Amino acid sequence: MTGSAAKAYRIGIIGGIIGGVVFGLFMQMQGMMGMVASLAGSESLFVGWVVHMVISVIFGLSFAVLTFVIPNLWTLSLLFGIGIWIIGPLLIMPAMMGMGTNLANAFTPDLLMSLVTHIGFSFIVGATFKVMTRKKVAGAKAA
């Protein structure tokens, strides 16, 4: 693994954690952590947070990998947010809960709000990359 890949993976993990906490707080306020916990056969708020944060870190790492394919962070953030919305609440989560898919309901108000929050998560990860990969211009001028 190259140094730039290792750095990208570290930033992806950090971005996933930051985005996961922000998105998780929103989900908890909406009473949705129990549904996340049900993916692990539980109703516990703690289990919901653990599952949610594991998924957030996986998404952060996935974002990091994709920065090598789509280098524009804002384009990647938008596309990634749409992608994880399709993969998560439209396909995997309802299927794991025995409900089939949510594709037919994709444009209902609740799922459109979910789209917005998934894009928001992705922009948080993208912003983390932007901040953590800035060159130290001021330090270079002082040297």
Output the pLDDT for position 97: 84
C-alpha distance from residue 45 to each of 12, 30, 95, 118, 123 (Å): 25, 12, 21, 20, 26
Contact 89, 99 (CB under 8 A): no
Average pLDDT of the chain to the nearest whole number:
91
The pLDDT tens digits of the residues spanning 5-33 come to: 999 999 999 999 999 999 999 999 999 99
Residue 75 has pLDDT above 80, yes or no: yes
What is the SS3 assignment for 42-80?
Answer: CCCHHHHHHHHHHHHHHHHHHHHHHCCCCCCHHHHHHHH
Averaged pLDDT, 85-97: 92
Output the pLDDT for position 98: 87
